[in-house]
Amino acid sequence: MNYYSLNNKSNIVSFQEAVIQGLASDKGLFFPESIVALPDSFFEHIEHLSHEEIAFEAIKQFVGNEIPASELKQIVNETLSFDFPLVKVDDNVFSLELFHGPTMAFKDVGARFMSRCLAYFNRNDDKKITVLVATSGDTGGAVANGFLGVKGVDVLILYPSGKVSDIQERQLTTLGQNIKALEVDGFFDDCQDMVKKAFMDADLQHKNLTSANSINIARWLPQMFYFFFAYKELKKYNKPLIIACPSGNFGNICAGIVAKKLGLPIAHFVAATNANDAVPQFLKSGNYSAKPSVATISNAMDVGNPSNFIRIQEMYNNDLKAFEKDFTSYSFTDEETLFEMQNIYTNSGYIAEPHGTVGYLGLKCELENFHNAIGVFLETAHPIKFLDIVEPTLGIILPIPKQIESVLNKDKKSTKIKSYSELKNYLLTF
Ligand SMILES: *Cc1c(COP(=O)(O)O)cnc(C)c1O
């Protein structure tokens, strides 16, 4: 399968090149040249297929013949080696829990898939790659864990000193081997700016730098699997299905729209945001304007200019009317989120963390427009990752899961940096 750059459609690369480059040379995001719907027979029998079989069928056209089927099956099996339970919260509302992976963040799936694709491309030891990633918290841990020990790949994670939680810091600073943590004296935006500068720096070309956030197709596309898993469980109800994603960079929901293009019967999508409301505002006014991000309690979604929104617009040929038929977006304040988190717990006993709660709020709004529909919100992180908020709000103490316990007694190893020149030096010498 080939991919074109959204900045210039004649800039075309293979799957492998798109994964290795991350971003096109003209700074555009890569997009698949075609999306061919899966046969009806696949959906007729989906409830009899395993997660691994579903995922393989969904992803194979996007890889094409660049990874042999047997290898791709192996990659998919390793990527999905944990559960994705669908938990009933209200009569017609389910939580799809995406946090049962090794770092308890939904980004585990994309990170695991991408790292294994890179390992395959480096099978002859001739394509050494450096993954550079800036994190405000959860991405770093998932990438560190997903890439640990992968041959031919070095991973450098930049995080803002003192601005990630203790658990998140341990998840990205304690692994060692090919994972290096750089502790930046600054904010998340400073980390991201340094990463962008490094990608454009001619002196670093020979390092084969790539990104591991959702601009990379190998991290973005596997997120479509979740939507198939939800449908597999809920098909038996024979009702319209509405799926709400708590959205930041809009990678997750954009992958859901790819699933719909593949024929998955999803009646409607809801992109639920926190106060970072560039997309809900766009749907109201018709004008898109990026904004500086504002800090909220659902901090993994504090994105002022969602990078994947341009991919969504591409899938609808920039036709706002067609887009609005399938897609609604709502924004919620921290106060609304805390109030609802408490409400959900009181009414059903379900413990939702802030991101999932924003998704739930969006789903509830949309269900008022649909009769007889069934709704799913994606729960994107384990509540323990946001215990500072969840425990006092609900008045409970959360038990520590084993994935988290295993990093708590390990020693932190990081290198402190202050400026881009220090990052560059590090990259040239490590
Ligand atoms: C990254 C993240 C999101 C947002 O996902 P996008 O694909 O960027 O929209 C939501 N919740 C959590 C917990 C995350 O880590």
pLDDT at 290 over 90: no
CA dihedral sign, ordered 61, 231, 242, 350: negative
pLDDT at 127 over 80: no
- C-beta neighbour count of 424 within 10 angstroms: 17
What confidence score (pLDDT) does residue 170 get? 92
Spatial CA neighbour of 354 closest among 368, 340, 367, 369: 340
Does 408 or 427 have the greater pLDDT score?
Answer: 427
What confidence score (pLDDT) does residue 94 get? 98
Residue nearest to atom 14 of ligand 1 (CA): 300
Q: What average pLDDT does the segment 378-403 reach? A: 95
pLDDT at 242 over 80: yes
Catalytic residue, candidates 107, 260, 364, 385:
107
Which of 99, 138, 213, 387 to mutate to test ligand 1, by most ligand atoms within 8 A of the CB atom? 138
Could you tell me if 8 and 28 are in contact, meaning their C-beta atoms sit under 8 angstroms apart?
A: yes
pLDDT over 70, % of the chain: 100
Residue 411 carries which side chain, given as an amino acid letter?
Answer: D
Active site residue 107: yes
Give the C-alpha distances (Å, rounded to integers) separating 30 from 56, 262, 278: 21, 18, 22
What confidence score (pLDDT) does residue 371 get? 83
What confidence score (pLDDT) does residue 214 get? 86
Q: What average pLDDT does the segment 37-57 reach? A: 98
Could you tell me if 386 and 136 are in contact, meaning their C-beta atoms sit under 8 angstroms apart?
A: no
Rounded-to-integer distance, Cα 377 and Cα 193, Å: 32
Which of 167, 249, 308, 385 to mutate to test ligand 1, by most ligand atoms within 8 A of the CB atom? 249
What confidence score (pLDDT) does residue 106 get? 94
DSSP state, residue 42 = H
pLDDT at 137 over 80: no
- C-beta neighbour count of 162 within 10 angstroms: 8
pLDDT at 32 over 90: yes
Residues 6+ apart with CB under 8 A from 310: 6, 29
Q: What average pLDDT does the segment 229-238 reach? A: 98
Q: Can you tell me which atom of ligand 1 is nearest the CA of 255? A: 7
Spatial CA neighbour of 360 closest among 267, 252, 245, 224: 245
pLDDT at 173 over 80: yes
Q: Ligand 1: list residues with CB < 6 Å.
A: 105, 107, 138, 214, 246-252, 300-301, 355, 380-381
Q: What average pLDDT does the segment 236-249 reach? A: 97
Least confident window among 187-191, 260-264, 399-403: 187-191
pLDDT at 291 over 90: no
pLDDT confidence of 360, banded at 50, 70, 90?
Answer: very high
Which of 96, 100, 106 to mutate to test ligand 1, by most ligand atoms within 8 A of the CB atom? 106
What confidence score (pLDDT) does residue 3 get? 98
Helix (H) or strand (E) holding 377: strand 374-379
Spatial CA neighbour of 30 closest among 256, 247, 385, 307: 307
Mean residue pLDDT across the chain = 94
Least confident window among 21-35, 59-73, 188-202, 304-318: 188-202
pLDDT at 30 over 90: yes
Residues 6+ apart with CB under 8 A from 291: 276, 278, 304, 305
DSSP state, residue 286 = S
Least confident window among 38-47, 317-326, 374-383: 317-326
Give me the DSSP letters along 50-103.
Answer: -HHHHHHHHHHHHHGGGS-HHHHHHHHHHHT-S---EEEEETTEEEEE---STT
SS3 168: helix
pLDDT at 407 over 90: no
Q: Can you tell me which atom of ligand 1 is nearest the CA of 245? A: 9
Spatial CA neighbour of 249 closest among 292, 296, 308: 308
Least confident window among 52-61, 93-102, 286-295, 324-333: 286-295
- For residue 327, the CA-to-ligand 1 centroid distance in Å is 18
Rounded-to-integer distance, Cα 2 and Cα 32, Å: 6
